Amino acid sequence: MKTLLLIFVFLIVSDFSATTQPRWTNIYFGNENALGEDFSEHYDYGYLLTGKHGQSYVKYIWLLKTDINGQILWGKTFGEENSWIAFYSMDVGPLGEIFLSGTTSYYDPYRDPLIMKLNACGEKEWCRIFYSPNHLDYAHSILATEDGGCAVILRYTGTFPPNFDDRICLARFSANGDLLWKQCYNSTDTLLRAEDSNHLFETPDKGFLITGHCYYLDTATTNLYRPKHYYIKTDSLGNFEWETVVHADNNLQGGDAWTTTIDPGNNYYYSSVSHYYHQTNFSSPALIKLDLSGNVMGIYDVVSGYFYGGLTHATFINSNTLTASCPYGNSQSEIVNLIVNIDTMGIIQNYIDAGPNVQKEVLTLSFDHKLLFFYNVLENNQFDVYLRKLNLNLEDDTIYTQPFTYDSLCPYQIVSDTIVQDDCGLIVGIEEAGEHGGMEAWGRGGVVVYPNPVREVLSVKVLGLSEGIVYSLEIYDIFGRKAPTPAFPQPGEGEIRVDVSGLVPGIYLAVVRDKKHFIGSAKFVVVR
């Protein structure tokens, strides 16, 4: 692990120089195949970048902290040798906390949704895993909330195939990592199926707007489902308020919605989308305007007449102008990547070409009203990570020469090291609160718990204990909080009896591990 960390630190390459580089552009991992995933401005005007090594799911993830000019201050890696981890989204809290969401195989060879909170010093404060054995699901777009907690989208938490329920859920955590609520949104519209989510936005009333797509029945054919832009609005407690399917009554048009923002007056939502024309197979970068009740007020193509295209991460730079990433083209190998200034009807006011082979763009407005463009470039069969700064006229910005103070909320120098996704609270399905497995419950890995349900003393045993291996037993409630448990017996000592009379009635999860591996688990119910 130490060797990997040293390699990680020395392979971080910044291609920025005030004397040789005419543009405010930094390149990271110039000698290493790496992909950037998400980007945030930190409380001290430095920047946070996160991503992964390589194109596929990997065991090690990186987080970089830079100064205001993009120069690296410190870095963290995430992961351990026996499982993989990936982060897809990041946000920063009011006290400099760093929230990350993604997936891990730490407790399951399939992926489980993972939410992690780091303090302002980049140290793990807590992490939570939604435990769902043998099931592919993960956490996606995450938002820090004013109370120091977060809200996060959970994707595909229902059991499928063949059940396609619970494809979009929303979970809310307190500052201490307590699960406050989890809500899932299964449409009652019988023409709608296979809904998916891409982005989470906090609305002016402290509710949430989920942006994505669904497949909607083409009533002209009665057997073909078309992709449509899809939106779900909730209140501050995650209770469903409304949904909107754009082009629900139009068999010839549809699309996918990527991100959503709101105008400075809080009057309308503006969504960055791909706008599909099914007869011609064209896909236009476009802007959709919605009122606060979800009614579509307009759909505006930015560029038209191409087979590939989408608008992403549109952000307001004044009351009438947005800046967005705008890739389009006639083949995936010949995409033009523009950064555009557009008005609220999608008309281009100004643009620059971001260059060839640009992918995974994130665009945001900084504290000093500059544009930060975080993206990947594919060159020579490997990816490099870029961060570029522009002014509002889309000209490359200049560097700051005055000194800034960084990491002032941390009382000591931050060390670049590795964070492991261990000791995470395991959240079992709160929707199963009325279910139990009978007098004896067989879990994963030969773990058996009985009686089930249990009132006072629970027996836990593992079949086929290996000689010479020390096991540990962990018990979690449905909110991912760990309950105190005794040490697990040595091999050959049979079962362990655990006093659960002090636990609150409800569902719990017993987890057995050795020093390096997840061994097995079983759910049980405590009753009175």
For residues 244, 245, 247 and 250, what is the CA-based torsion angle, rounded to 10 degrees? -130
Is 368 inside a domain boundary? no
528 residues of the chain, pLDDT tens digit each: 433 443 344 344 444 333 344 469 999 988 788 999 999 999 999 999 999 887 655 667 999 999 999 999 999 999 887 788 899 999 999 999 999 999 998 888 788 999 999 999 999 999 999 988 777 889 999 999 999 999 999 998 876 554 567 899 999 999 999 999 999 999 999 999 999 999 999 999 999 999 999 999 998 877 899 999 999 999 999 999 999 999 999 999 999 999 999 999 999 999 999 999 999 999 999 999 999 999 999 999 999 999 999 999 999 999 999 999 999 999 877 899 999 999 999 999 999 999 989 988 999 999 999 999 999 998 888 899 999 999 999 999 999 999 999 999 999 999 999 998 888 888 876 544 333 333 444 455 578 888 988 988 888 888 766 666 667 788 888 888 888 776 666 554 567 788 888 888 888 888 887 766 777 888 888 988
Cα distances from 114 to residues 86, 107, 218, 251, 278, in angstroms, run 9, 11, 36, 38, 37
Is 470 inside a domain boundary? yes
Between CA 345 and CA 287 the distance in angstroms is 7
Residue 208 in tokens: 């949430």
Is 152 inside a domain boundary? no
- Residue for token pair 């404060």: 125
Is 54 inside a domain boundary? yes
Beta strands in 219-294 (DSSP E): 224-234, 240-245, 253-262, 268-277, 282-291
Same domain flag for 113 and 85: yes
Same domain flag for 394 and 478: no
Same domain flag for 206 and 346: yes
Same domain flag for 202 and 285: yes
Same domain flag for 241 and 341: yes
Q: Which residues of 375-391 are buried (b: 16+ CB within 10 A; e: fewer)?
A: bbbeeeebbbbbbbbbe
Same domain flag for 198 and 340: yes
Is 137 inside a domain boundary? yes
Sheet holding 441-442, edge to edge: 441-442, 447-450, 457-462, 496-499
Same domain flag for 245 and 344: yes
Pairing of strands 296-301, 282-291: antiparallel
Q: Provide the number of structural domains found in the chain.
A: 3
Examine the fold and report which residue of 427, 452, 469 is the final residue of a domain before the chain moves on: 427
Residue 141 in tokens: 């777009």
Tell me how far apart the terminal alpha carbons of the chain are, to the nearest angstrom.
Answer: 46
What pLDDT is stored for residue 68 in this prediction? 96
Is 163 inside a domain boundary? no
Same domain flag for 27 and 49: yes
Please calculate the CA angle 310-315-318 and round it to the nearest 5 degrees: 135
What pLDDT is stored for residue 437 in this prediction? 39
Same domain flag for 400 and 439: no
Examine the fold and report which residue of 367, 395, 427 is the final residue of a domain before the chain moves on: 427
Cis peptide before 505 (omega within 30 of 0): no
Same domain flag for 318 and 421: no
Is 487 inside a domain boundary? yes
What pLDDT is stored for residue 473 in this prediction? 84
Q: What is the CATH number of the domain that holds 199?
A: 2.40.128
- Of 255, 263, 361, which is closest to residue 299 (Cα–Cα)? 255
Same domain flag for 329 and 416: no
Examine the fold and report which residue of 365, 394, 427 is the final residue of a domain before the chain moves on: 427
Q: Residue 503 sits in which domain range?
A: 435-526
Same domain flag for 191 and 139: no
Q: What is the CATH number of the domain that holds 459?
A: 2.60.40.3080
Residue 202 in tokens: 């906090």
Between CA 270 and CA 273 the distance in angstroms is 10
Is 121 inside a domain boundary? yes
Between CA 152 and CA 166 the distance in angstroms is 14
